Amino acid sequence: MNARIAIATVLAACIGAAAAPAQAAGCLKGAAVGGVGGHFAGHHAVAGAVVGCAVGHHIAAKKEREARQAAAANQPPASAAQR
């Protein structure tokens, strides 16, 4: 019965996170992986899902920041574009 409650909690968190996709980047994948890992590491699926969501969001934000920096580095200077 506890597993059903944990699964329902994780699904509710995923649905809530899906409502705000701009802020939930990486959260769903992280929550899924963390939930499974937490379940096998002592039946802590909900705690694993919460931590997985936070880690997944952090990794996605870091990857997006690096992509923006790489794109900015690849743009020609404004003075060269005006010539």
What are 28-81's pLDDT values in tens digits?
Answer: 888 888 888 888 888 888 888 989 988 998 999 899 999 999 988 888 766 655
- Between the alpha carbon of residue 32 and those of residues 24, 43, 48, 53, 62, the distances in Å are 13, 14, 9, 8, 20
Please report the pLDDT score of residue 67 as a whole number.
Answer: 92
66: tokens are: 């690096």
Extents of the domains making up the chain: 2-73
Say whether pLDDT at 82 is over 60: no
Higher per-residue confidence, 39 vs 7: 39
